Structure 1
């Protein structure tokens, strides 16, 4: 899973930045739309990567192809509808990543059909834009605080269970490191990745 190839790391930087920025911007945009101006006031309603990068999460995304960004702070009390707001904001980031991945895949197919790749590094760059965005979406749906999956889950759990789940946040980094040292990503997340790619292929099959 770990990828320390220097050329791949360089080629993956555009995909990395796109995945991080689009994900967090989508959270901020939908939170603002749902009635909470906290992301706007904290400077997160922007495409500036510096506002969204978490150094450790970015490093993990580069070397392991799974990672995270700096969470967008929101105040659910400002949402016009608390449950709807939490769910929509939480899903906005992963959804934006999947849309970005699909668009990059379409561009890749179009350029390939037009024979415009030549000998450039563009195919690898586009490949990694697709890969990073798909992986970023899947990774963030893990139900572990502060990842998006936990926020969706909390909308349906009893209050006392929410407190127990939230208490795991202090151990999240250690838990993620342990998971990366086990077959978890291979047996759980990789099949989900293949499922997403299969869905993309099904949509694009008439155009191939």
Structure 2
């Protein structure tokens, strides 16, 4: 096992994961707050402080285990879900859909921002900026882009409690939305099954490619 490679990947991935999950969860809470629900604000979750969003398993244990099991080739994580009370919204269904969409949208914005930094700020000064600063900065920014894109695509899988499922529940006719509510208690098990069997790639990777096409415009 390449412990040097794993350690290097931890240094690269840790800030990328924290940036991705913090902005993802902050976006959920911020949109909820703007729509009239201050649950996230009262819970201290409208902050960029990563400590407020860290989940022991999803942010620390799982990414570390993935790095070990994949020999430093793959890492993924998640944060504590931001508490949202849809009954504080004027329209609970559409409000919840907007809150859900805010997370993946924020990840896409972060990826675009990092792309702009690389293409329009760093690359024009290649050779001017010292290599010991330029090279690791580009590597971390590229990792941040990749993790944000994957996190956005994964969360858009249309199965509750993932964001894609929440969005779908908000736009479908009420009777179909209520049917999805019945599926939600088993949603996590369905997603785990999809991950184990590789079914998530059927949805995630085409969406990842689509997002990268968007990034190529910048």
Q: TM-score with structure 1 length normalisation?
A: 0.84
State the alpha-carbon separation in 1 of the partners of residues 186 and 7 from structure 2. Answer: 31
Structure-2 residue corresponding to 1:156: 171
Q: Secondary structure at the match of 1:5?
A: helix
Deviations 1:142-180 (A, max 9, x none): 122221111111113354544443344443443333222
State the alpha-carbon separation in 2 of the partners of residues 84 and 117 from structure 1. Answer: 49
Contact 1:65 1:135 in 2 (8 A): no
Matches within 5 A, 1:1-208: 5-58=6-59, 59-60=61-62, 63=66, 64-109=74-119, 110-115=121-126, 116=129, 118-119=131-132, 120-201=135-216, 203-204=217-218
Contact 1:25 1:44 in 2 (8 A): yes
Deviation larger for 41-50 or 65-74:
65-74
State the alpha-carbon separation in 1 of the partners of residues 110 and 165 from structure 2. Answer: 23
Contact 1:67 1:139 in 2 (8 A): no
Offset, 1:42: 1.6
State the alpha-carbon separation in 2 of the partners of residues 12 and 170 from structure 1. Answer: 31
Q: Secondary structure at the match of 2:41?
A: helix
Cα–Cα, structure 1 residues 39 and 190, in superposed 2: closer, same or farther, change >3 Å?
same
Q: CA RMSD in A?
A: 2.3
Offset, 1:188: 2.5
Between Structure 1 and Structure 2, how many residues are aligned?
Answer: 200
Q: Secondary structure at the match of 1:80?
A: coil
Offset, 1:65: 4.2
Q: TM-score with structure 2 length normalisation?
A: 0.81
State the alpha-carbon separation in 2 of the partners of residues 15 and 108 from structure 1. Answer: 15
Unaligned runs of 5+ in 2: 67-73
State the alpha-carbon separation in 2 of the partners of residues 11 and 198 from structure 1. Answer: 24
Deviations 1:45-77 (A, max 9, x none): 111212222333335556344443221121112
State the alpha-carbon separation in 2 of the partners of residues 19 and 191 from structure 1. Answer: 20
Cα–Cα, structure 1 residues 161 and 117, in superposed 2: closer, same or farther, change >3 Å?
farther
